[in-house]
Structure formats: C-alpha cells, structure tokens
Chains A and B, each alone.
Chain A
Amino acid sequence: MITATPRKDLLLMGIFTFAVLTMPIWLAPIGASYPDLLQRFAIFGIFAIGFNILFGLTGYLSFGHAAFLGVGSYTAVWSFKLLSMSVVPAVIFGVITSGLFAVVIGYISLRRSGIYFSILTLAFAQMSYNLAYSVLTPITNGETGLQLSLNDPRTLDSLVGVAATDGIPPTNFFGIEMSGYSGFYFCAILMIIGFYISMRIFRSPFGMMLRAVKSNSNRMSYTGLNMRPYTLTAFVISGMYAGLAGSLMAVTDPLAGAERMQWTASGEVVLMTILGGVGTLIGPVIGAGVIKYFENIFSAINENVLHGIFNFLPDFLEDGVVAILSLFVGEGWHLTLGMLFMLIVVFLPGGIVEGFSRIYARFRNKNNSTDGKADPIGSAKVQPGE
C-alpha cells in the first residue's frame, strides 16, 4: 500500500493545480480547450468531488444531489438580481442556501440507509424539481427559468453607483468579467480549493470515521461512535459542493432552470464518480471530465464529419463504416458513453483511476522484480488516488 504522507500530498496538490491551470493548453489537441467546455469541466469537477465525499467515503448513494445544484443556481441568480452582479455574494449565498437545504433533506433521508436512503433523496429532488416547475413559479419563474432583467434592483451595485445603462451588465469578480477564460479560471481556482478541502477530509480522523461508516456501521456504534452526525456532516458538505457548482453555472451563464434539478442530473454525477473511481481523490474529477468531453465532442460529430474522416476508403466501405459509426456519435453519444461505462464497471470496478494504478503497479513490479521481494499485500492493493 502506498501510504499518503504530507509530502506526497503536497506533490499531488502541485501536480493537480498545474494540470488544471494548464488545461487550455494540453486539451487543445483533442479539441476541448474552448472556454465553455473548460468551465463545465471545472464546475462538474466540483460537483463530483463533493458527491464523492458522501458516496465515496460513507457509501451513502444519494440520487438527489441535483436538487442542491438547482438551489445553488437559483440563489446565485437571485443574488445577481437583488444584490449585485459581483459573483462573490452569489457564490457565498449559493453555498449557504444549499447547505441549509442539505441539513433538512439529509436529516430526514439519513434515518434510512442503503436503497431506502437513495429513494428518499430521489424523492426529495423530484419534489424540488416539480415545485420549481409549478408552485414556486414566483421564485423560480417556472418553465421559462429565472433570468436577469434590466429593471432588477441590484441594490449593492446601485449603492456604489454602477447603473445599467446599456443592457444587463455581465457577472464579474471585482471588475473581471466572468465569461470566457476568466470564467474558467475562476471556476478552476474554486475547484482546486475544493480539491484541497476534500484531500484534507480524506486524510483526517473525520474522513477515517466516514470510511468506517462504509466499512461496518455495526462495529462503529459498538466502538462508541455516533454515526448519524458523521453522515449528516458529510451529506451537508457534499450538498454545499453541489451548491457551489450550481452557483458557478449561474456565474458563467446567469440563468437558472428547473431542469437542472431533474433526476438525470443527479444520475450524471453518480456516473461521473463511478467512472472515475469511487472513493478516490482524483477519480471524480477525471470522471466529470470524460463525461463532459463525450457530451460535447462526440455529440458534435455528425455524418458529414465522419464522411470527411473516412473519405480515403472506397465508397461502399466508407458508407458502411459511416453508417455504423454514426450510431455512436451525434445524437447517439449516449451509446458510446453507456458502453464505456459498462466496460469500466465490468473490468475496472475501481474506475479509471484503478486502471491507472494497475498500470503503475505493473510498471513498479517490473522495476522491483530484481529485488525478489514483494511487499506482503502486493501492489494490487495500491490505494487509488493516494
């Protein structure tokens, strides 16, 4: 087992920070370096990091985390409308409000575990979605979604004398417009902070207790530990991460709609976490990246593009290849993603990160084979992400 030491963690943190900040450069060759997609990588990375604190450590599978995403978004848009176009209050209020929601939903849902917990969270999220769509129209603006308008009060902005003269002002961070690359870097820095917090939790006694919940909750109570406050804290923390992600969605594109709360969005973050590696530090970020990449790149490929790629083939072959491949791209990108997901779950239950650590272990074994001495548990037990 590779044991995590403060030095190794510092190294991991350094590599992670560097990799995230240079994303616009190294993602360029695969066509993923445009700001809109980069922002989404960072936002969903945050969402998945937070989700993993709950699901990865305690094993409680929430199917309702999109509710917190939606709450974060609505709160942020309201903050833009009522207070200021500055993103600082929007993000802070988004995180706080979704945290409060998480306290209520978590308090009730965590009375049950396993499938019943999942169903309870799903029910809460669908309730929130339907409320946002119908009853709460004055707050959420129903089907149209909550948007900014010219005659919003923006009290703080008007106090300091920023008036909307021509059109709705853009969201900003102390004057820096939150669109394009600056929007990405704002989200990216928050993701790096979020990753660091998650790492501290993973290494802390608190994180150890969360793992104990997952491993054997019976033994935990007979060891004198009260499980409920541990799981509730984890639930609220992950809800706040989701709220942060939701408010960042509104930061980069200031509108909020009910569909953000739908169960498909809750399911997506589950997929991201499992695809990348449940319970690993880096896995959820990778999973989020892969899914968002597929969603944006594969869905953009259409038959014309495929014909362009395969026009070196004889016509009858070209038509055949394009006919088959077009099932997997464009509208059919879900098919590709689904197959990838199945392959990973069947062959690499620990997700993409497990794949990496297997390759690493093989590499290391080759180097060590001259010593003729393997460690007692073997490198197969390499803890992913550590």
Chain B
Amino acid sequence: MGILEVRDVNKSFGGLKALNKVELDVEEGSVHAIIGPNGAGKSTFLNCLVGLLIPDSGSVNFDGNSLLGIKPHEINQAGVSRVFQTPEIFSDLSLLDNVVIPTLASRDGAFKLNGWKRADQDSEIIGRAEHMLEDVGLIDKRNMHAGSLSRGDKRRLELAMCLVQNPKLLLLDEPTAGMSRADTNNTIDLLKRIGERGITKVIIEHDMHVVFSLADKVSVMAQGTVIAEGTPEGIKGDPRVQEAYLGGAHL
C-alpha cells in the first residue's frame, strides 16, 4: 500500500481543465519523480496536495487519512513538507531562526503560547537546528539574514527547513531549477543523503539528469493527466512519452 494515494483528481480553472483524472501511488520510502512538459499540470497537482488548491473532485489519501479540506498547517503537521519552485523562506530572519521555527513547529505543534521562555536558551531546539544547518553546509552562515543568500543557498536552506521536521513525505517542486551544474550535483548528493533517512519524496523536475540519478519511479504528465508510469529506464523507451514530452526526439 502506498503512503500517498491519489484517485481521480480533477481541477478546472474556468474552461481550462488543469488536472484530468490524475491517479498516483507513491510507495513509502521511494523517490517518485513527476515529469512532463510545461503546462502539464505538475505544479497544480502539487498545490492540491498541500492545501493551496482544492481539487474539484477526487481523493487524496496520505498515510490512510484524507488531505482534502484540511488547512495547509494541518497537512504539514500530518507529515508533509514542501519545497517551492521559488524558495519560500523567512528572508528577514537569520538562517538559524529560519530553521528554528520549523523545529519548534514540529515539537510544539501549530500553536503554543510560550511568551516567557527564551528561544535562544532552548538547547534542544537550537541543537537540532544547528545540526541541520551543518548537514546542508550552511552552518557558517547561521547568523546571516536569509534574504542575502544566493539562490542555491536559499534552496538548501528551504530544504533544511523541511528536513528538520522529519517529514514522512517531502514534496520538491523543481529543486534544481536555475542552478548551475555544480549546484545541481550538490543538490542531488544532498537529496541522496536524505534518501538514507527513508523519507518518501515526490519530485517535480525538468532536468532528466536529476530524475535519472534519483528516482525509483517516474510518472509522466501531459495535458493534466498521467500518461505513463514506470522505472526511469522503462520511461526512457516509452514511445508515448517521447511523443508527448520529448517531441519525438531520442534521449
């Protein structure tokens, strides 16, 4: 049984059918890539998973519970973290605070009125956050303002913010978009290392290099629906995929 089961999800924007009967099964502990041409509905689909959009119909079950109709923070508390296409970080705060906040959220829940304790004296939280920053190689910049980071570092920071919560499912929306080859490879290494922790991952990606180095399974989306699914090798040779996604060219 998959940790994430998506059945018959539909979503329209006016006359445009963005998602058409999307079905997806993600197995626990696996890396599942979703590829597809621009406008295939990949990001819309991800938005439906985190509560940013509500599908018109269908069901999304995570770990046995429906994710539909519950708020984004509840989805996160259920164990789903998301990395965005453009990094969503707390730009005005220090890197350490950026990681401390999700750490607190995973320990203390969605709301806790602790206005009398000192945040900087909570050694458990600070320790976890610093350890995480070390893991992604940002510990030297812990006191910098997050807004002053390079784009690649912002992505790594956002990844750290998600990972420190020990999510059951990590959603990554084009984690290497706009990165140099070297940065991309660093990110791949980082994601591989996370793989060792057994976190299930769903990755939307354009870069085939990333997909083939990480994914256990690949789903191909086109025009709002999943047209093919299989191992990376199987997908490479699928003529439907080459038709829809690669425009007939050979990989």
B111–A225 CB distance below 8 A: yes
- In this assembly, does B92 line the interface, its C-beta being within 8 Å of a C-beta of chain A? yes
Q: Does chain B have a CB within 8 A of A226? A: yes
Question: Is A358 among interface residues, defined by CB-CB distance under 8 A?
Answer: no
Residues of A within 8 A of B82 (CB): 222
Roughly how many angstroms separate A209 CA and B113 CA in the complex, as a whole number?
Answer: 10
- B20 part of interface (Cβ distance < 8 Å): no
Chosen A-B contacts, 22 in total, with CB atoms closer than 8 Å, are A1-B143, A203-B118, A204-B115, A204-B116, A205-B125, A206-B112, A207-B119, A209-B104, A212-B101, A216-B88, A216-B91, A219-B89, A220-B101, A222-B72, A222-B76, A222-B82, A223-B73, A223-B165, A224-B77, A224-B102, A226-B111, A377-B145
Residue B71 interfacial (CB < 8 Å): yes
Instruction: Give which listed residue, B73, B119, B122, B145, contacts A225 with CB less than 8 A.
Output: B73
CA distance A215 to B93 in the complex (A): 8
Q: Mark out the residues of chain A between 202 and 259 whose CB falls within 8 Å of any chain B CB in the assembled complex.
A: 203-209, 211-212, 214-216, 218-227, 229-230, 233
For B88, the chain A residues whose CB sits under 8 A away are 216, 218-219, 222
Can you list, as one digit per residue, whether each of B130-155 has a CB less than 8 Å from chain A (1) or not (0)?
00000000000101110010000000
Is the CB–CB distance between B97 and A208 below 8 Å? yes
B108 at the binding interface (Cβ < 8 Å): yes
Pairwise interchain contact B165-A224, C-beta atoms closer than 8 A: yes
**Binary contact track A28-64/B, C-beta < 8 Å → 1, others 0:** 0000000000000000000000000000000000000
Is A381 an interface residue, CB under 8 A from the partner? yes
Please name all residues of chain A whose beta carbon is closer than 8 Å to the beta carbon of B119 when the two chains form the complex.
203-205, 207-208
Say whether A205 contacts B117, CB under 8 Å: yes
> Judging by beta carbons under 8 Å apart, are A200 and B115 in contact?
yes
Decide yes or no whether B100 CB sits under 8 A from chain A.
yes
Bound together, the chains give a CA A352 to CA B75 distance in angstroms of: 43
Q: Are B90 and A219 in contact (CB under 8 A)?
A: yes
A residues lining the B interface (CB < 8 Å)? 1, 3-6, 200-201, 203-209, 211-212, 214-216, 218-227, 229-230, 233, 376-377, 381
Contacts of A377 in B (CB 8 A): 143-145, 148
A228 to B, closest residue via Cβ: B111
Contact A223 B120 (CB under 8 A): no
**Inter-chain contacts of A223 with B (CB < 8 A):** 73, 76, 101-102, 105, 161, 165
CB pair B93 A211 closer than 8 Å: yes
User: Within 8 Å of chain A (Cβ to Cβ): is B106?
Assistant: yes
Residue of B nearest to A204 (CB): B115
Q: Ordered nearest first, which 10 A-B pairs have the shortest CB separation?
A: A224-B76, A226-B110, A215-B90, A206-B115, A221-B72, A219-B88, A224-B105, A229-B111, A215-B92, A224-B77
Q: Which residues on B sit within 8 Å (CB–CB) of A381? A: 145
Tell me how far the C-beta of B234 lies from the nearest C-beta in chain A, rounded to whole angstroms. Answer: 33
Q: What separation, in Å, do the CA atoms of A1 and B81 have in the docked complex?
A: 30
Q: Roughly how many angstroms separate A216 CA and B76 CA in the complex, as a whole number?
A: 16
Q: How close is B33's CB to chain A, nearest CB, in angstroms?
A: 21
B50 at the interface (CB under 8 A from A): yes
Shortest A12–chain B CB gap in Å is 14
Cα A225 to Cα B100 in complex, Å, equals: 13
Q: Tell me, in angstroms, the Cα distance from A263 to B64 when the chains sit together.
A: 53
Q: List chain B residues, Cβ under 8 A from A226.
A: 71, 73, 110-111
- The complex places the Cα of A201 from the Cα of B113 at a distance, in Å, of 10
Please name all residues of chain B whose beta carbon is closer than 8 Å to the beta carbon of A201 when the two chains form the complex: 115
Confirm or deny: B123 has a beta carbon within 8 angstroms of a beta carbon on chain A. no
Most buried by B among A3, A205, A212, A214: A205
**Known contacts A208-B97, A209-B101: does B50 contact A222 (CB below 8 Å)?**
yes
A2 shortest CB reach to chain B, Å: 10
Q: Does B121 reach chain A (CB closer than 8 Å)?
A: yes
Among B92, B101, B110, B121, residue most surrounded by chain A Cβ atoms (within 10 Å)? B101
Q: A3-B120, A4-B120 are in contact. Are A225 and B101 (CB under 8 A)?
A: yes
B-chain residues with CB within 8 Å of residue A227 when the two chains form the complex: 73
User: What's the least CB distance linking A50 to chain B, in Å?
Assistant: 13
